[in-house]
Amino acid sequence: MSTLFLQVFVGICFIGLILILFFEKFDYILYSVLFLIIAATVSAFFLEEAREIEFYISTIEWEVILFFVGIFVIVEVLRENNFFEELARRITKKYSKSPRKLFYVLTIIATFLASIISGLSIVVIFVPLTIIICKKMEINPAPYLFSLSVCVNLAATLTPFGSAQNILISNEFGLDFLWFLTFIVPYFVITFILSLFLLDKFILGKELKKHSVDEGLEDKTVNLEPTDKSKDMERLTFHEHVDGTDDLQKPSDMETKKVFDEEDFSLDQMAMSKKDFYKNCGALLLLIVLLVVLPEIYFASIVSCLVFVFINPRKGEGSKFNLIHYLQKIDYKLIYFFSCLFIFIGLMELNGTLLLIEQWIENLSGQDEFL
């Protein structure tokens, strides 16, 4: 009877830990500590092992925690040094006259990065950049944002380090990159291509037709000035000369508008130098190689994070190579959540809850492997 009570009680605390994530007005850390202490205290009354601090330390998957810390540091280094802004600027400069090409390039690059770095970080970075880019090109950002949302989630399945759940599963069952390459990548490629096709046909295509924007836009000039809603939209037009040559002119009642130029693009103010950009691209390539080659992904993450810190010396006061600076900027909520999650799983394994769940799933599925 006491075992059943303990299983139910810890289960309720665990559900509380999950539910508190959905209420932003509550202090997540405060209530998660509260749920954890209550569950641990009650467990200690019934189970002797739950009274030892070593038990709680051993339940935490420190490899996963170290991996997240390293990746978050890398993201902070790249963000502070405007790597993503420079990447977006280069993409926009090259594909600014073709919304469809921009759609594919942005989606593919964001998906690729999301398979290496946290998808949430990529979304947080790429969404505002995409909105800025689309505003400059005077196109609706909705198709681009929807594509990012769909494909970044797909990217989470691509690698053993593409998402938190992949890290936990691959760490538990010893699944390496080769396993994902063999069994996951083929399905990902098919799904990704199909998703891009459907997004283009039913969302982007309709939006481009709606605004009379298609591939022919490559022969037109993109207006980068903000639209004045109090006036009619001003457009540059082509006028045919008598001699048959095309010349870009403006009607007499219109003010002069600037066409796309690197100097006029606002993201250019945040861009990093060409040398630094390529150095960070090389460091990202090193991260990918280490994650693929080394079975200990946490080691690859930590080594790569040190590389990023050293190739991006900070300017101003203090040390040029300041790892503490980036560690202080990390949002530790996700790391803290996983620490609590690991401890709760350890408690539920200790009181037999996980065994009951395992038996229930086996009875439910029977001999059907798909269930």
Cβ within 8 Å of residue 152, ≥6 positions away:
110, 111, 114, 119, 122, 123
From residue 334, give the alpha-carbon distance in Å to each of 62, 77, 262, 305, 330. Answer: 14, 18, 38, 18, 10
Phi, psi of 247, deg, nearest 5: -135, 140
Residue-level pLDDT, tens digit, the chain, 371 residues: 688 999 999 999 999 988 888 887 888 888 888 999 999 999 999 999 999 999 999 999 898 899 989 999 998 999 898 888 888 888 887 887 888 999 999 899 989 988 888 777 788 778 888 888 888 778 889 999 999 989 988 998 888 888 878 888 887 788 888 899 899 999 999 999 999 999 999 899 888 887 654 445 444 444 444 444 433 433 333 333 334 434 333 433 333 333 333 344 454 555 688 899 999 999 999 998 998 888 888 999 999 999 999 999 988 766 788 899 999 988 888 888 889 989 999 999 999 999 898 888 888 766 555 45
Query: Tell me, what's the pLDDT at 36?
Result: 93
**Residue 20 burial (CB count, 10 A):** 19
Question: What are the sequence ranges of the domains in the chain?
Answer: 2-65+333-365, 82-223+260-270, 273-329
Query: Tell me, what's the pLDDT at 270?
Result: 54
Residue pair 64/168 in contact by the 8 Å Cβ criterion: yes
